[in-house]
A = this chain, B = another copy of it.
Amino acid sequence: MARIAVVAGDGIGPEVVAEARKVVDAVLPGVEVTEYDLGAARYHRTGEVLPDSVLDELAGHDAILLGAVGDPTVPPGVLERGLLLKLRFAFDQYVNLRPSRLWPGVTSPLAAVKPGEVDLVVVREGTEGLYAGAGGSLHRGTPAEIATEESLNTRHGVERVIRDAFARAARRERRKVTLVHKTNVLTHAGSLWSRTFDAVAAEHPDIATEYQHVDAAAMFLVTQPQRYDVVVTDNLFGDILTDIAAAVTGGIGLAASGSINPDGAYPSMFEPVHGSAPDIAGRGVADPVAAVLSAALLLDQLGHADAAARITAAVSAELAARSPEVTVRTAEVGDRIAAQAAG
């Protein structure tokens, strides 16, 4: 049976993760869970963000389910870089998967978009680009200061994530992959991305392809999100585009994500896109749907496609039945989805 590490984290993290676990238990009893108390509290207690010993222990699991980390009392970036990005890089989670669906019952901020019409997935590169941490500064704090940030891209890294995007498109109905970059300005990386894209596309004559500059894609996600199926892009563009995609499909409160090592050499990590939302923590009103959908992605990744599909269907039913006037009750939502998914 699957061995899962759970990092509930800060703020609403523990609340939404509890519901995700409830739902997993309902569809797949017997999953073995180990809890890790990473996040703001541990940082304050011990000064540590992610000790090497914990990193080693996490590596021994099949997957990681994370709630949310972050708290106003922790300097910005400490947990993001020390925990989230550290895990993505240490575990070579090169596929950062972010599906966006406009579920029945959910209203898009876009007037012309109806539920069911948007169903896209962004395959964001997770281990390269401007996230590599390459850069520096000189003459800091003086008028002569310069600061640099370097985007590092390898054929190895670009090709594997593009292959993953095509493999996903091949399993979907519309079979279309959109490459997003900024080849007219970022000519070196852009050339590597588009040549690699073309080479992989040539092996998939049955999959439709298109290219868009990132500024155009940001615009079309607002005016015509229906047009996308699978989008593949670099780490930073993916960061921005997935928040737009989440916004047009009902907000980050519903958005799930996976940081995936498809080779299985390391555990993949699944987490809601929303943050720890300290303002509503502890009140039992956080929406657990994004965490539940993240757990579904996790099960799917571990080969439990049926269990994942049952969760997804139960979420869909839950959202369709929701009335916008009624406040979400975290535990009740979890109970309903669990009951429905267990069937």
Partner of A152, one of B76, B148, B247: B148
A contact residues, range: 35 or more
- Whether the pair A219, B252 counts as a contact (CB closer than 8 A) is yes
- Whether the pair B147, A191 counts as a contact (CB closer than 8 A) is yes
Q: Which residues of B contact A147 (CB under 8 A)?
A: 153-154, 188-189, 191-192
Complex CA gap A150/B188 in Å reads 10
Q: Which residues of B contact A48 (CB under 8 A)?
A: none
Partner of A183, one of B77, B156, B183: B77
> Interface readout for A104-131 with B: 1 if CB under 8 Å, 0 if not?
0001111110000000000000000011
Complex CA gap A242/B213 in Å reads 14
Q: Which residues of B contact A108 (CB under 8 A)?
A: 111
- Closest CB-CB distance, A100 to chain B, in whole Å? 12
Partner of A109, one of B155, B184, B189, B223: B223
A187 close to B (CB within 8 Å): yes
Please, which residue of chain B has its CB at the minimum distance from the CB of A187?
Answer: B77
| 12 residue pairs A–B, Cβ–Cβ below 8 Å | A108-B111, A109-B110, A110-B110, A131-B185, A140-B191, A148-B152, A148-B189, A185-B239, A215-B239, A215-B240, A218-B240, A218-B244
Residue numbers of A with Cβ under 8 A of B are: 76-77, 80-81, 85, 107-112, 130-131, 135-137, 139-156, 182-189, 191-192, 195, 214-216, 218-219, 222-223, 236, 239-244, 246-248, 251-252
Further 19 A-B residue pairs, CB within 8 A, beyond A76-B183, A108-B111, A130-B186 = A77-B184, A85-B185, A109-B112, A109-B223, A130-B151, A135-B189, A137-B191, A141-B195, A147-B153, A147-B188, A148-B188, A150-B150, A182-B236, A215-B243, A218-B218, A218-B240, A218-B241, A219-B243, A223-B251
